[in-house]
């Protein structure tokens, strides 16, 4: 299975206790998706080009999706199946 | 009698630079890949390779054009040291979950003392496997881990199975495992020492351990006792506590030249350049003056030679370092093959200024003021603004900015300062 890296616009919240979570993301077509819940945030490698990303397992509209954050680029991306 | 009470891990990141680059280029995972440093015409020297490249016979240290001849599909990517340092730190954070006794050895190796950690986390082998899986799961690179009762055997263990494996050299099995390995596998046994050992009838580490210590001391000096201890599993050097920054023990630079060197004059030129750079860094570091110079030579077949010697008096003057380096080179090198790479390192630092019997002090002070002035100019305008007259003779050499591109060398493993 091939994956493509798609960098996305994300609005994130920093809590007063420390820590960052994504609140909503804007897709390429302009549509805004709200992130209902973050299940896990852990360091995990991606299937596309990224070094040391943090993988957020998010619930969006009832479906699970991985959102990745690259700390050194301060950038969020998702993996889209298909070449 | 070895001390079997400790539990030491040696964790070695497999094909490190190449593994990081495969995270950046996942499409190259199955393709032979070489990570290259950049030098002039040669498009670089292979600094690391992945498993497919290794299988194709690519060797670290060989120039890329030569490697490409061995393997037409070989892909080259440039080295990105800041990225490797970040990954190395992330991996060390995983080690830190299990112990605070962590001693890095270069960018991709670490010793861990988990003697006490076993009470919390389980056996040494268990901890090693937990670490191996965590690194793979969280970072996406692999490690080979050796588990043993001392640092030397732990390092032998990590070399035994690659990639992504754990090997234990225990009290019960070390005679069947470590002792069967060739003596040249032992840390600090290079080609020259291995030859001396084989003359004594020593082929394996076991042979070395079982040889009469007096004979070894007679033939190899104090190294004889040290190597005997290492082979017998009696190394007791501690794993340094994380956070106790080990003081810098040596400052050095090495360089692979854009063309192989064939004459003493060529070598002298490069040694001057290297000594300039080392002297500049020594001045910057505030470590004082050095008393020992060590040169390293790599020939065109990638065989390595080293020799060290004392300076007539402690110095941080580039010319004095270069003169000593040249003397060492002439005593060391048999000139059977052209020279591929050279390195100069200084060590044994002291602050004191020493007066010589013949009152060169004024001359030395002048040279020092000159060095300091040159340093100031270089800081302002870049390293290449002032060149030695001899260096300008070889234009390509003059264009290299060595100090800017120095390489990370691991130092001795002995935790005692």
A 11-40 → B contacts, CB under 8 A: none
Considering the domain architecture, whether residues B24 and B119 belong to the same structural domain is answered as yes
Residues forming a β-bridge with B261: B339
Interatomic CA distance for residues B299 and B57, integer angstroms: 19
Q: Do A52 and B26 touch (CB under 8 A)?
A: no
* CATH number of the structural domain spanning residue B369: 3.30.1490.100
Kindly tell me the number of DSSP H helices and DSSP E strands found in chain A: 0, 7
DSSP state at residue A20: E
Q: Decide: B298 and B61 in contact? Cβ < 8 Å.
A: yes
- Cα four-point dihedral sign B284, B288, B289, B290: negative
Considering the domain architecture, whether residues B110 and B18 belong to the same structural domain is answered as yes
> Which residues lie below 8 Å from residue B197, measured CB to CB, with a gap of 6+?
B183, B189, B203, B207, B208
Radius of gyration for the alpha carbons in chain B, expressed in angstroms and rounded: 23
Query: Above 70 in pLDDT, residue B362?
Result: no
pLDDT at position A1, please? 83
Residue B414 lies in a domain: no
Considering the domain architecture, whether residues B59 and B161 belong to the same structural domain is answered as yes
pLDDT in tens, B30-81: 999 999 986 554 557 888 999 999 999 999 888 888 899 999 999 999 989 8
> Which residues lie below 8 Å from residue B253, measured CB to CB, with a gap of 6+?
B274, B277, B278, B281, B343, B344, B345, B402, B403, B406, B407
Whether pTM > 0.95 for this model: the answer is no
Residue B413 lies in a domain: no
Considering the domain architecture, whether residues B291 and B361 belong to the same structural domain is answered as yes
Considering the domain architecture, whether residues B77 and B153 belong to the same structural domain is answered as yes
Domain finish residue from B131, B158, B174: B174
Interatomic CA distance for residues B244 and B228, integer angstroms: 29
Does any CB of chain A come closer than 8 Å to the CB of residue B20? yes
Domain finish residue from B122, B147, B174: B174
Considering the domain architecture, whether residues B388 and B290 belong to the same structural domain is answered as yes
Of A45, A49, A52, which is closest to B25 when you measure between CB atoms? Answer: A49
Q: Do B26 and A72 touch (CB under 8 A)?
A: no
pLDDT in tens, A21-34: 999 999 999 999 99
Highest-confidence range of A54-68, B193-207, B254-268, B378-392, by mean pLDDT? A54-68
- Counting Cα atoms < 13 Å in the Cβ hemisphere of B26 gives 15
Residue B412 lies in a domain: no
In percent, the amount of chain A with pLDDT more than 70 equals 99
Interatomic CA distance for residues B392 and B256, integer angstroms: 19
Residue B142 lies in a domain: yes
A 36-55 → B contacts, CB under 8 A: 42-45, 47-52
Interatomic CA distance for residues B384 and B92, integer angstroms: 37
Nearest C-alpha in B relative to A73: B83
Considering the domain architecture, whether residues B217 and B166 belong to the same structural domain is answered as no
Which among B288, B325, B264, B294 has a CA at the least distance from the CA of B411? B294
Task: Provide the domain limits for residue B384.
Answer: 250-405
Query: Above 60 in pLDDT, residue B283?
Result: yes
pLDDT in tens, B291-342: 999 999 988 888 888 999 999 888 888 999 999 999 999 999 989 999 988 9
Domain finish residue from B212, B241, B270: B241
| Region B336-359 average pLDDT | 77
pLDDT in tens, B168-187: 999 999 999 999 999 999 98
Interatomic CA distance for residues B254 and B235, integer angstroms: 30
Highest-confidence range of B277-291, B320-334, B359-373, by mean pLDDT? B320-334
Chain B hits for A42, CB-CB cut-off 8 Å, are 138
ipTM exceeding cut-off 0.85 for this assembly? yes
Number of domains in chain B: 3
B399 a catalytic residue: no
pLDDT at position B259, please? 78
* CATH number of the structural domain spanning residue B150: 3.30.70.270
CA dihedral (A75, A76, A77, A78) in degrees, to 10, reads: 170
Which among B148, B200, B139 has a CA at the least distance from the CA of B179? B148
Residue B290 lies in a domain: yes
Q: Helix (H, G, I), strand (E, B), or coil: what is residue B122?
A: coil
Considering the domain architecture, whether residues B7 and B152 belong to the same structural domain is answered as yes
| Region B233-257 average pLDDT | 79
Phi, psi angles (nearest 5°) of residue B16: -55, -60
Does any CB of chain B come closer than 8 Å to the CB of residue A71? no
Q: Which two tokens stand for residue B233?
A: 């599993």
CA-based nearest distance A13→chain B, Å: 24
Considering the domain architecture, whether residues B288 and B314 belong to the same structural domain is answered as yes
B 51-110 → A contacts, CB under 8 A: 83, 86-87, 90
Average pLDDT, chain B: 85
Considering the domain architecture, whether residues B75 and B117 belong to the same structural domain is answered as yes
Query: Above 70 in pLDDT, residue B397?
Result: no
* CATH number of the structural domain spanning residue B228: 1.10.150.20
Residue B417 lies in a domain: no
Which among B191, B176, B188 has a CA at the least distance from the CA of B225? B188
Does any CB of chain B come closer than 8 Å to the CB of residue A1? no
Does any CB of chain A come closer than 8 Å to the CB of residue B25? yes
Q: Is B179 exposed, middle or buried (0-12, 13-18, 19+ CB in 10 A)?
A: buried
| Region B106-134 average pLDDT | 95
Considering the domain architecture, whether residues B185 and B166 belong to the same structural domain is answered as no
Residue B125 lies in a domain: yes
Considering the domain architecture, whether residues B396 and B275 belong to the same structural domain is answered as yes
Q: How many CB atoms lie within 10 A of CB B202?
A: 24
In percent, the amount of chain B with pLDDT more than 70 equals 84
Q: Do A51 and B138 touch (CB under 8 A)?
A: no
Residue B415 lies in a domain: no
């Amino acid at each position: 299975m091939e994956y493509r890296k798609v960098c996305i616009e994300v609005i994130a919240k920093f809590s007063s206790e420390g820590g960052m979570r994504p609140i909503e993301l804007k897709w390429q077509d302009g549509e805004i998706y709200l992130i209902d819940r973050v299940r896990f945030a852990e360091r995990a490698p991606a299937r596309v080009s990224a070094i040391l990303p943090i993988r957020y397992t998010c619930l969006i509209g009832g479906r699970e999706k991985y959102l990745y954050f690259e700390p050194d680029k301060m950038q969020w991306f998702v993996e889209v199946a298909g070449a | 009698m070895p001390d079997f009470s400790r539990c030491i891990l040696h964790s070695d990141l497999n094909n490190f630079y190449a593994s990081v680059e495969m995270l950046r280029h996942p499409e190259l995972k199955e393709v032979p890949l070489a990570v290259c440093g950049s030098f002039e015409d040669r498009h670089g020297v292979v600094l690391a390779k992945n498993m497919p490249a290794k299988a194709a016979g690519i060797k670290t240290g060989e120039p890329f054009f030569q490697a490409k001849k061995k393997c037409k599909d070989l892909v080259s990517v440039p080295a990105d040291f800041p990225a490797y340092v970040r990954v190395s730190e992330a991996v060390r954070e995983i080690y830190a979950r299990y112990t605070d006794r962590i001693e890095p050895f270069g960018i991709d190796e670490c010793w861990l003392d988990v003697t006490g950690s076993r009470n919390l986390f389980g056996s040494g082998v268990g901890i090693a496997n937990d670490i191996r899986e965590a690194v793979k799961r969280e970072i996406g690179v692999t490690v080979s881990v050796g588990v043993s009762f001392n640092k030397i055997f732990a390092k032998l263990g990590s070399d035994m199975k690659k990639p992504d494996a754990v090997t234990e050299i225990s009290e019960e099995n070390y005679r069947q495992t470590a002792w069967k390995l060739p003596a040249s596998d032992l840390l600090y046994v290079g080609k020259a020492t291995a030859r001396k050992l084989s003359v004594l009838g020593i082929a394996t580490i076991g042979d070395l351990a079982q040889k009469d210590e007096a004979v070894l001391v007679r033939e190899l000096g104090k190294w004889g006792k040290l190597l005997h201890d290492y082979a017998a599993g009696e190394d007791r050097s501690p794993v340094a506590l994380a956070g106790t920054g080990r003081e810098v023990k040596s400052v050095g630079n090495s360089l692979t030249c854009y063309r192989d060197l064939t004459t003493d004059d060529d070598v002298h030129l490069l040694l001057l350049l290297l000594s300039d750079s080392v002297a500049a860094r020594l001045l910057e570091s505030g470590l004082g003056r050095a008393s020992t110079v060590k040169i390293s030579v790599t020939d065109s077949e990638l065989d390595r030679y080293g020799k060290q010697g004392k300076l007539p008096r402690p110095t941080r003057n580039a010319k004095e370092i270069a003169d000593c380096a040249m003397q060492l080179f002439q005593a060391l090198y048999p000139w059977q093959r052209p020279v591929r790479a050279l390195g100069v390192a200084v060590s044994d630092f002291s602050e004191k200024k020493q007066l010589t019997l013949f009152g060169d002090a004024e001359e030395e002070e002048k040279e020092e003021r000159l060095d300091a002035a040159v340093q100031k100019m270089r800081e302002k305008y870049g390293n290449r603004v002032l060149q030695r007259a001899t260096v300008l003779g070889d234009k390509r050499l003059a264009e290299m900015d060595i100090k800017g591109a120095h390489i990370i060398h691991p130092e001795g493993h002995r935790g005692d300062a």
